[in-house]
Amino acid sequence: IADETTANINQSRESYKCVAQRSSVLFFSITDLPNVDPMYQYSLNWFINLFLRAIQHR
């Protein structure tokens, strides 16, 4: 049973890996924007809300 559960968890984790990688790239790109111009400052809360809205409308 433990091996089957582990396999199910790993399979579920793999299905989210692509989303996590893309989200990470977007988040760190957004956090670097103030280096381009201080006007571009966004909070973690803003990013989370944007991410959740994108998932809900998909």
Token digits for 1?
Answer: 């049973």
Quick one: pLDDT at residue 55? 86
Q: Which residues contact 50 (CB under 8 A, 6 or more apart)?
A: none
* Full-model pTM: 0.68
Cα dihedral 53, 42, 40, 26 sign: negative
Mean confidence (pLDDT) of the chain: 92
- pLDDT (tens digit per residue) in 23-51: 999 999 999 999 999 999 999 999 999 99
Number of domains in the chain: 1
With a cut of 80, say whether residue 58 has pLDDT above it.
no
| DSSP tag of 2 | H
**Residue numbers of the domain that contains 18:** 1-57
Number of H helices, E strands in the chain: 2, 0
**8 A C-beta contact, residue 30 and residue 47:** yes
Quick one: pLDDT at residue 30? 94
